Amino acid sequence: MRLQLSIVVSALSAVTVAAPVTEDVKRGSPPLPSTDSFYSVPDNIDSYALGAIIDHRSPPSAIAAFGLDPLNLEASYQISYRTSDNFGNATSTVLTVLVPNNADTSKVLSYQVAEDAADPNCAPSYAMQFLANSGGLLGTAVTQAEILLIEAALYQGWVVIMPDHEGPLGAFLANRMSGHATLDGIRAALASTSITGIQSSARVGMWGYSGGSMASNWAAVLQPEYAPELTDSLIGAAIGGTVPNIPNVIDTVNETPFAGLIASGVLGLANVYPLVATVVNTEILDQYKAKFDEVAQQCFVPDILDFLLADVKSMVSNQSVWTRPDIVEVLQYNSLEYAQAPPSSIPFYVYKSVLDEVSPVADTDSLVSAYCSAGVSVEYTRDIASEHGSLAAIGAPKALMWLKDRFDGKSAASSCSTNTVVSSLLDIATIEVLPSFLVDALSALLGGEIGPTFIG
Ligand SMILES: *[C@@H]1O[C@H](CO)[C@@H](O)[C@H](O)[C@H]1NC(C)=O
Ligand SMILES: *[C@@H]1O[C@H](CO)[C@@H](O)[C@H](O)[C@H]1NC(C)=O
């Protein structure tokens, strides 16, 4: 394993760590999701069809152009919609819709954010609003690279939608919920013409990195059964920093800079699995209980800082809990490696650092190979000169170009291909899909001027 502590530390110092959210409230920011009735699941949620719009509004606080340059949004919306939790029970969540100026309302990108937190107040619909006034909470929920990616997509004229795919309980790693919420968010977007102008016949691409790749990939896997009518709408999925096997991630990140992912993942699952909640309550050693309690009330960056290099697997009274069959079953139920392949109607672009220090590249190699055997068209880029955090930015231009080709109606390759490249970024200067200010921002991000990115 390559442990790049200096990079991570500089990345962390580059990210704006949020003030406690209570201070944001004191400053007059919009109410937290946990106290905002717009986020409440209606009592009669069962009476809504999947993806049905429950309510909509303008974001309480305006969403700006991400503090960068001049990409003015024409409009933004929040839509509350019916979806299903990890077990298929009715629930609701919130979609953010970003409409750029001169939007092509026939092209919709569903961007799944790597929220990676167990606190519902880290939901992207909420965090995005702080772009307008403070940037505070942003650093905890959406990393610098992801903002650039979303902005790059808006620059194409695509309408960008972002589901709060962890649902109303902050169910990080309850990945079937994330898949449901992504698919129902697309349904809600396609049904929102009178609100957003999105055409009901719009073509939809999906994109996500790391935690967001799981949501996007699960949406594709679950689509044939859960949302069969979307077959003709979905043009492809670009997924990077892929995470096919959760038990392997736990072993890989323990005692590394990413160790906090174990804590946020366990607490995310505890939010929806009584079994996991019981294990947390009974197994976490007393001296670590307060640390874990904090994770339930904070977002990704502080979670990572709290557990930097920690041996999280040893923070329990009986370490065999990690291999207990009932716990392993939960982890596998939410791991792509143990699920069916997506339908061949959804082509995939997969990008992964060969040195990825969160999820070993071998797991993605075998996932891609299984998908290819099942008839899915997968264009797979294995990138050598990167690691998990930096590939989010380095790999983005190619992913964006791949999505653009799909939106432009070019067919994906009929067969699978794998390319191991020194760097996906070598040709960035010639990549015409990106406006120059974004190329500059991306280069600065990677060149250390701002600091490399850090996405979990
Ligand atoms: C959700 O679904 C599970 C499994 O189908 C069921 O046992 C449980 O009672 C349901 N919970 C609620 C709150 O409906
Ligand atoms: C630890 O847990 C395992 C599996 O649940 C159990 O078999 C074992 O007896 C436990 N060890 C202790 C010391 O409690």
Tens digits of residue pLDDT in 257-305: 999 999 999 999 999 999 999 999 999 999 999 999 999 988 888 888 8
- Look at residue 449 and tell me whether its pLDDT is greater than 50: no
* Least confident among 15-24, 313-322, 368-377, 447-456: 15-24
Helix H or strand E segment including 75: strand 73-84
Q: How do the domains of the chain map onto residue ranges?
A: 2-245+344-445, 251-333
Q: Which ligand is nearest to the CA of 325?
A: 2
- Per the model's pLDDT, the better-predicted residue between 85 and 301 turns out to be 85
User: Which residue type does 226 have?
Assistant: Y
Protein residue whose Cα sits closest to atom 13 of ligand 2:
318
Ligand 1 atom with the shortest distance to the CA of 88? 2
Q: What single-letter DSSP state applies at residue 55?
A: E
Q: Residue 426's pLDDT band (boundaries 50, 70, 90)?
A: low
What per-residue confidence (pLDDT) applies to 15? 33
* Least confident among 20-29, 58-67, 308-317, 429-438: 20-29
What number is the average pLDDT over the span 358-383?
97
Is pTM beyond 0.85 here?
yes
* Least confident among 20-34, 46-60, 168-182, 360-374: 20-34
| Distance between Cα 271 and ligand 1 center (Å) | 14
| Distance between Cα 85 and ligand 1 center (Å) | 10
Q: Which ligand is nearest to the CA of 86?
A: 1
Query: Is the CB of 101 inside a 6 Å radius of any atom of ligand 1?
Result: no
Reduced DSSP (H G I as helix, E B as strand, rest coil) percent helix, strand, coil of the chain, to 5: 45, 15, 40
Q: Residue 364, SS3? A: helix
Query: Is the CB of 20 inside a 6 Å radius of any atom of ligand 1?
Result: no
Query: Is the CB of 200 inside a 6 Å radius of any atom of ligand 1?
Result: no
What per-residue confidence (pLDDT) applies to 142? 59
- Look at residue 65 and tell me whether its pLDDT is greater than 70: no
| Distance between Cα 273 and ligand 1 center (Å) | 11
Domain 251-333, CATH class in plain words: mainly alpha
- Contact between residue 176 and residue 334 where contact means Cβ atoms under 8 Å apart: yes
Residue to substitute in 43, 84, 85, 89 for testing ligand 1 pocket (most ligand atoms within 8 angstroms of CB): 89
| Distance between Cα 405 and ligand 1 center (Å) | 42
Extract the tokens encoding 247. Answer: 């038990």
Query: Which distant-in-sequence residues (6+ apart) come within 8 Å of 399 by Cβ?
Result: 207, 238, 240, 349, 351
Q: Which ligand is nearest to the CA of 323?
A: 2
Protein residue whose Cα sits closest to atom 12 of ligand 1:
89
Q: Residue 111's pLDDT band (boundaries 50, 70, 90)?
A: very high
Query: Is the CB of 419 inside a 6 Å radius of any atom of ligand 1?
Result: no
What per-residue confidence (pLDDT) applies to 144? 64
Q: Which ligand is nearest to the CA of 177?
A: 1
- Look at residue 190 and tell me whether its pLDDT is greater than 70: yes
**CATH match for 2-245+344-445 among 3.40.50.1820, 3.90.1580.10, 3.60.150.10, 3.40.50.970:** 3.40.50.1820
What per-residue confidence (pLDDT) applies to 130? 57
The side-by-side arrangement of strands in the sheet containing 417-421 is: 53-57, 73-84, 90-100, 158-163, 104-112, 203-209, 234-240, 348-353, 378-383, 417-421
Residue to substitute in 279, 318, 322, 324 for testing ligand 2 pocket (most ligand atoms within 8 angstroms of CB): 318
Query: Is the CB of 87 inside a 6 Å radius of any atom of ligand 1?
Result: yes
| Distance between Cα 314 and ligand 2 center (Å) | 14
**Residues that are catalytic:** 210, 356, 388
Query: Which distant-in-sequence residues (6+ apart) come within 8 Å of 343 by Cβ?
Result: 220, 223, 224, 231, 376
Query: Is the CB of 45 inside a 6 Å radius of any atom of ligand 1?
Result: no
Protein residue whose Cα sits closest to atom 12 of ligand 2:
318
What per-residue confidence (pLDDT) applies to 392? 85
Protein residue whose Cα sits closest to atom 10 of ligand 1:
89
- Look at residue 157 and tell me whether its pLDDT is greater than 60: yes
Query: Which distant-in-sequence residues (6+ apart) come within 8 Å of 357 by Cβ?
Result: 1, 2, 3, 4, 252, 253, 256, 258, 387, 388
